[in-house]
Amino acid sequence: MFDDFDSRPEIRTLNKEEAAVVRALNPPLNPWRVVGWQVVVVLASMLLALVLTKKMAVMYSLAWGGLCVVVPAAVFARGLMSKAALVNAGSATAGFFLWEVVKIGLTLAMLFAAPRVMQIVGQDLSWLAMLVGLVVTMKVYWLALLCKPAVRQATHN
């Protein structure tokens, strides 16, 4: 029953130089890269919506749905990359949760503001187009993770 424990690989602590090599081989996913790809997806989907429907209201609604993801993601990335959030593991963890709450709150506020925003720009809100923009832009997170290079192992001498 406990024989499986003997077959596990040995776990050892890396020294500073070894850890630096592992970090150099496996850079973290930059949140600004994700935000950039989200902007590209929003612009491309706006163009596609306009070509397919020829309705400005659909394009604007889709754009607002995408912005409901992009703007909070940019605020989140800015908060995570601040020097205060990178001081130590505790502040990084607390900062992550704080900025995640801010991101969710900002997303909800922007969604609630959608009818008023569309009224200001003189268009009717297409709820379906806004939802499509929101979902398509959110899926960029998965695309970014799938496109991230695989974890590479440091070679031991």
17 token code pair: 């130089």
CB contact set of 86 (below 8 Å; sequence gap of 6+): 92
What's the pLDDT tens digit per position in 117-132?
Answer: 999 999 999 999 999 9
The confidence score (pLDDT) of residue 118 equals 96
Backbone angles phi, psi at 88, to 5 degrees: -150, 175
The confidence score (pLDDT) of residue 146 equals 74
The confidence score (pLDDT) of residue 51 equals 97
- Asked whether 129 and 49 are in contact (CB, 8 A), the reply is yes
Cα torsion 108, 123, 140, 88: sign:
negative
Cα torsion 99, 100, 105, 106: sign:
positive
Residue in the structure block whose two tokens are 């993770």: 145
- Asked whether 48 and 75 are in contact (CB, 8 A), the reply is no
pLDDT band at 3 (very low <50, low <70, confident <90, very high): low
- Report the percentage of the chain scoring pLDDT > 70: 85
The model's pTM: 0.76
144-150 mean pLDDT: 69
What's the pLDDT tens digit per position in 82-110?
Answer: 766 566 777 778 888 999 999 999 999 99
11-18 mean pLDDT: 83
Given a cut of 80, is residue 68 above it in pLDDT? yes
